[in-house]
A and B are shown apart, each in its own frame.
Chain A
Amino acid sequence: MIGRTPSPRSWSINNLTDVVTARRSGLKLALTLGFPAPEATKIAVVISELARNIILYAGTGVVSLIPHVEDGEVYIKVIAQDHGPGIEDIERVLAGGYTTSKGLGKGVSGSKRLMDDFEIESEVGKGTKITAVKWLRIRR
């Protein structure tokens, strides 16, 4: 585990290469912060799902990773934001009830299970912001 908080970082998500870059960086950052491999993998997968949804539904957007290290408390916050069409029924998305051709439901509801906190803010016609947090609980 490291003693100081690394700088937050952001990626503009425009294509699948950006998705791969963001999730790879997320995996590396999580491991650096002391997350065990399975937990770091989950963070990387959530970044992948959220960034991929940005490409599928909004076209472009931004994914940010905000690490936090303070008084022995460590977490990573993932924020995925876009100015796409927005989500009409957030509860349904979180319950995995959407069955669109692109598979939104599974990716989002699955991501929620992988994280400790998961919040969707969305306005139809304006965009979506998803904030997900994972705390470091098990030390290596």
Chain B
Amino acid sequence: METSTINKLEDLLLVSVPRDLMDDEVLLLRRQVVQGIREYHSRWVLLDFSLVDICDSFFGRFIQSTARMVKLMGADVIVSGLQDAVIETMVELGMTLPNIRAVLDLDEALVLSRESKHTMEKIIPDLQVDESADTQEDLLATDTFFLNSLKEG
């Protein structure tokens, strides 16, 4: 099992997403992200996808569900490092990431987080409900699993 690495840099929680995410790894990674935000008081979570070269619809649901959890912690997700082939495939597959900011690299993410710190301006909170029933139900399925395992834990 590939492990992800999580590091702190200023207001950013840096998360290197492994190449092939399995369901149990998603669960673990999201918990680590939530714990990391709590521990470091991070305002931003940078999900780095440089290692990812295959992006199926499960991958898209992972980004969305992680973003929602991060939002509940009062932080925001930024994605970076999406490869050209991955971007082309995501668009043709019909995968969208509404309300999620993407940057080219870590430098740009740092600029974004520093700017927002000075201006106190963050991305508009994602308060509207995603009306896409498919996505919504997918998320609920994933999140019910997540919550149940939290209760068990």
Contact = CB atoms under 8 A, between A and B. Distances in A.
B106 to A, nearest CB: 23
B107 interface: no
Contact of B94 (A16, A27, A110): A110
B89 interface: yes
Interface residues of B, number: 27
A41 B86 CA distance: 7
B141 A102 contact: yes
A49 B56 contact: yes
A2 B86 CA distance: 25
Identify whether the interface residues of B are mostly helix, strand, loop, or mixed.
Answer: helix
A113 B86 contact: no
How many of chain A's residues touch chain B, expressed as a range? Answer: 20 to 34
A7 interface: no
Identify whether the interface residues of A are mostly helix, strand, loop, or mixed.
Answer: helix
A49 B57 contact: yes
20 contacts: A37-B85, A38-B84, A38-B85, A41-B53, A41-B85, A41-B86, A42-B89, A44-B53, A45-B54, A49-B57, A52-B56, A101-B138, A101-B141, A102-B141, A103-B135, A103-B138, A106-B94, A106-B135, A110-B94, A110-B95
Interface of B: 20, 22-23, 53-58, 61, 83-86, 88-89, 92-95, 133-135, 137-138, 140-141
Interface of A: 16-17, 20, 23-24, 27, 37-38, 40-42, 44-45, 48-49, 52, 96, 98-103, 105-107, 109-111, 113-114
